[in-house]
Amino acid sequence: MTIDLAAYRFAVITRDIIYRWERHQENPSDLRFSWDQQLDSQSLETFFNYFKSQVTPHPDFNFNPTQPEFFQSFKDFLQGEVIDNYNEVVANLPPADVMAAFDNELARRTTEVSAAEKIQPTLAQARVELFKRLDGLVSQLDSKTTELLTTVSIEALGKLDPQTALQQTAQTISEVSKTVGQAASTETLVTILESAAPYLQQTSEAFTAVAKTIEDRLEGSATQPAKDRAARLVTTAAFLGEKHAPTGLAVTPQLEAGLITATQSPHLASQVGQLLADNQLQFNQLIGQFHRASAQEKLFDQKILKELSLNPNLTGEALNQSFQIARYVTPFVMVGHSLAQEKGASSAEVRKIDEFMARIGYFDALEKGYNIRASARAAAQQALQKFDFASMFNSMGNVQTFYALRGTSSARLQAFLTDIQSLETSQFNLQTITARAGDLSLSLTTTSGGGTLPTTLKEMGQQVSQVIITNPAHSTLVWLGSQIRGGKWKNVLAGIGMGSMASFIVNPVTGVAAGIGALFIPTHYLTIESTLGTGRKVRPALAKVGRTFLAVAGSVTGVSFGFFLLIPILVALILFIINNSAYIVPQAVGTISDGIVPGDTGCFEFNTASFTNPSLLQNLIRAAQTISTYTCYNQKLCSGGKITVREIPKPVGWYGFARFSRPRLIEVYKGYQPNPQEALYTLAHESGHVFTVPDTYSVGTQYASLGLSGSDRTCLPTYQFYINGPADCRIINPNNPDQPITGQFEDEAETIADYISNLSLLSNYSNHLQLAKSIFESCGFP
């Protein structure tokens, strides 16, 4: 019996769940290892059923989560029958020409983005020129015209695109200056601008409403430009959605062009008034929808809070947590809910989908580092179950707009829009990707007997496969289509499931939801430098793909249907690769904090002036505080003096998020946006290098003496840059790229990192654990 990758991956996921149960049994008050008997047992049962029905040999015992013996038997089964019997397979990568074609397609988009970016340096010059022109022109314009121009510039264009407002105004004034000498022309201009004024005011209100919602939802660290861009994106997407709305309204091409390519359109400033007048009906509808959605959102919050308040078991922090998680998972639930309704699902089926999507939302919260108690999660779920989504949808009349607002409120959008670099550097994402892919695949597998959920997901897949198959000109699409037709649809579908919201872009009815849904795809899903075991050949190409997509997403000029359309395909492609080549490490749970907590950072000294990202600094300081609580390690680590931590631009040719340099310098790369748990992992890993160079405490000797060296070696899987995976344990030799060398110094550092940040995984590697214990539990010399 050959254990396939899916079984192996699910086994590792399941084993981690059991680890969590074990840790919970040891110390129920340790919130890192919470356990909800009902919910977590359900998850475990899902996996158990998978192994019972899909994997040979089957477990020869029954599911009984109330008996400790069951957990031990299940763990033994997973380890002995599945994990240990798994033989790593060669990555099933797309053919080189497929990758090349996809790369070329995105290279074209990169060029477009680059061209748009080149405009930016000219803005400063444009600004100077504008003021010069204004100086020269103001005296020639009457006060009313000047006032209107000012209004256009600041209140309208400034909200549309602050960076290019002045440039646009300069163009307008330039046009005005040609006719300013003629009273009639001036009068015409004034008339146009006057007629536009009410609409501009409405535009302003719309943006204010959206921006406020975004501000309410985005984390405090969101920058104003990010909020502005998010607001603009939502509004633009809403316009686009209206274009395809069933009401039959149409957005004129000029308006669409003006809104989408405001930075390039010379028409916007001078023609926006007329364009809006031409589309008054739909514009008013849009604004109305935003207002209704905003009101509904408040109503939702009130209802959920009321529902939670009725729960006598919830007080204080637990109540707050329940409220936060309910709000967090709502967008997920709403998507599934509305889709199920559209498909005519029964109420029981809708409820099932709600629960499923809530679970995905909860995973998402965990990934972000939220540490939500199981009790709070259960309470939130209970409250959501009582909430009547249908009535809310009906009263609002446009669930997509509501979802657009909710979706855009995701903090991920902030990262999506503001920092392309984060794509390259988020290393923990793979585990979430694979976990979710696995979860979805599992759901598809285990529930394929019936029900709405697999049907819905399958329909999503069919829609995307339709796109794929009907675009024969693109070899990437052809290849993915062949995978679907060749029976590997589950792998592709797992990716499509992840990008399912985006896939609905092909359905005009859900245009807005699809557009925003595309944005809602976590940036993590595009983090393909994390794709383990795929080799160097593919990794840079995929990384470029990811960067390109973010670049496109971050640029309003690049937002188009083609862009949205490619996202699910990209995600499918990436997840297909991951499904066939990578492996998983268990998910870690972190905590969130609103600020830097005073505390001992041990010997870590932060060069605060070097940091451009306060959040990064904050998370690293918290990480240092955590590391310093490991008394013996901290004592030994600090015996060599202080460790300087600073931020630098990522050097060319370096991987990862940070580096260590002799003697005691840790440099974290600009653009790295870790959550607290990721920051802890990274700093702990780099501290491991500091600890072993010089190797004052003979970690190297201990490492070797434990048999971690030699032909039987296997390195910890959490480290991502072994070119052929952790079992091979080799990294690129910079002096001879054709001859990789052992990277066991990374494994030493990783042992330290995992002890601090991923102990449950480390517990499965007994020799590594023993090494870690000698480091962490002995304050003296070995």
Token output for 394: 């009906």
User: Is 19 within 8 Å of 28 (Cβ atoms)?
Assistant: no
Applying CB under 8 A, does 449 fall inside the site for other proteins?
no
Helix residue ranges per DSSP H, 608-667: 614-627, 631-637
The reply to whether 654 sits near other proteins by the rule CB under 8 A is yes
735 binds other proteins (CB under 8 A): yes
* One of 745, 755, 765, 776 touching other proteins (CB under 8 A): 745
Q: Which of 271, 655, 727, 728 binds other proteins (CB under 8 A)?
A: 655
Decide if residue 548 touches other proteins (CB under 8 A). no
Q: For other proteins, which stretch binds (CB under 8 A), given 210-218, 486-494, 536-544, 687-695? A: 687-695
Residue written as token pair 């796109």? 467
Identify whether the C-beta of residue 481 lies closer than 8 Å to the C-beta of residue 465. Answer: yes
Does residue 700 bind other proteins (CB under 8 A)?
yes
Residue with tokens 């600890």: 691
The CA-to-CA distance between both ends of the chain, in Å, stands at: 44
Instruction: Tell me the two tokens of residue 307.
Output: 């529902």
Note the Cα 514 to chain centre separation in Å: 16
Per CB under 8 A, does 584 bind other proteins? no
Judged by CB under 8 A, does residue 652 bind other proteins?
no
Binding residues among 499-528 for other proteins as defined by CB under 8 A: none
Nearest CB to other proteins, comparing residues 3 and 704: 704
Whole-angstrom Cα distance, residue 679 to residue 624?
9
> Shortest gap between Cβ of 409 and other proteins (angstroms)?
35
* Per-state percent for the chain, helix, strand, coil, to nearest 5: 70, 5, 25
Strand ranges inside 448-593, DSSP E: none
As given in the structure block, the two tokens for residue 469 are 């198959």
- Work out how close the CB of 661 gets to other proteins at its nearest, in angstroms, rounded to a whole number: 8
Give the integer Cα–Cα distance in Å for 479 and 104.
15
Phi/psi-derived region of residue 678, left when phi > 0, alpha when psi is between -120 and 50, beta in every other case: alpha
780 is an interface residue for other proteins by CB under 8 A: no
Contact (Cβ atoms closer than 8 angstroms) between residue 747 and residue 716: yes
**691 interacts with other proteins by CB under 8 A:** no
Q: Which range in 35-43, 301-309, 337-345, 745-753 contacts other proteins by CB under 8 A?
A: 745-753
Q: Which stretch binds other proteins (CB under 8 A): 25-33, 304-312, 390-398, 650-658?
A: 650-658
Q: Are 391 and 337 in contact (CB under 8 A)?
A: no
Work out how close the CB of 295 gets to other proteins at its nearest, in angstroms, rounded to a whole number: 50
- Residues from 657 through 686 that contact other proteins (CB under 8 A): 657-660
Q: State the Cα–Cα distance between residues 538 and 644, nearest whole angstrom.
A: 35
- For position 709 contacting other proteins by CB under 8 A, the verdict is yes
Of 575 and 683, nearer to other proteins (C-beta) is 683
Per the listing, tokens 């086994």 go with 11
Binding of residue 741 to other proteins (CB under 8 A): yes
Least distance between other proteins and beta carbon 613 (Å) = 19
How many residues bind other proteins, per CB under 8 A? Answer: 42
Q: Which of 541, 749, 752, 775 binds other proteins (CB under 8 A)?
A: 749
Residue 215 near other proteins by CB under 8 A: no
Could you tell me how far CA 252 lies from the centroid of its own chain? 33
* Residue 702 binds to other proteins (criterion: CB under 8 A): yes
Nearer to other proteins, 151 or 427 (CB): 427
Integer Cα distance of 82 and 80 in angstroms: 6
To the nearest whole angstrom, how small is the minimum distance from the Cβ of residue 695 to other proteins? 5
Answer yes or no whether residue 693 interacts with other proteins by CB under 8 A.
yes
DSSP string, 438-487: HHHHHHHHHTTTSSHHHHHHHHHHHHHHHHHHT-TT-HHHHHHHHHIIII
753 counts as binding other proteins under rule CB under 8 A: no
Q: How far is the CB of 725 from other proteins (least distance, A)?
A: 17
What residue type is assigned to position 745 of the chain?
F
From the list 81, 105, 354, 746, which residue makes contact with other proteins (rule: CB under 8 A)? 746
- Contact letters for other proteins, residues 713-732 (x by CB under 8 A): x-------x---------xx
Q: Considering beta carbons, is residue 399 or 658 the nearer one to other proteins?
A: 658
Task: Check binding of 695 to other proteins (CB under 8 A).
Answer: yes
Tokens of 202: 């409405």
* Stretch of residues binding other proteins (CB under 8 A), selected from 182-190, 344-352, 455-463, 706-714: 706-714
Q: Taking the CA atoms of the chain, what radius of gyration do you get in angstroms?
A: 28
**Contact window for other proteins (CB under 8 A) among 300-308, 355-363, 401-409, 652-660:** 652-660
Q: Between residues 582 and 729, which has the closer beta carbon with respect to other proteins?
A: 729
| One residue of 299, 704, 727, 759 binding other proteins per CB under 8 A | 704
Q: State the Cα torsion 388-393-399-402 to the nearest 10°.
A: -70
Binding to other proteins in span 242-281, by CB under 8 A: none
Task: Kindly state the tokens that stand for 353.
Answer: 């989908």
Cβ neighbour number for residue 272 with a 10 Å cutoff: 27
The first and second tokens of residue 659, run together, are 């580096």
Place of tokens 């070329």: 104
Type of residue found at 544: K
**If binding is defined by CB under 8 A, does position 733 make contact with other proteins?**
yes
Dihedral (CA of 166, 171, 176, 177) sign: positive
- Residue listed under structure tokens 């598809």: 444
Residue type, 274: Q
Among 742, 759, 763, 770, binds other proteins (CB under 8 A): 742
Q: Does 703 bind other proteins (CB under 8 A)?
A: yes
CB of 578 to other proteins, least distance (A): 22
187: number of Cβ within 10 Å: 13
Stretch that binds other proteins, among 44-52, 233-241, 495-503, 707-715 (CB under 8 A): 707-715
Minimum CB distance to other proteins smaller for 52 or for 730:
730
Residues that bind other proteins (CB under 8 A): 654-660, 689, 692-696, 698-707, 709-710, 713, 721, 731-735, 741-746, 748-749, 781-782
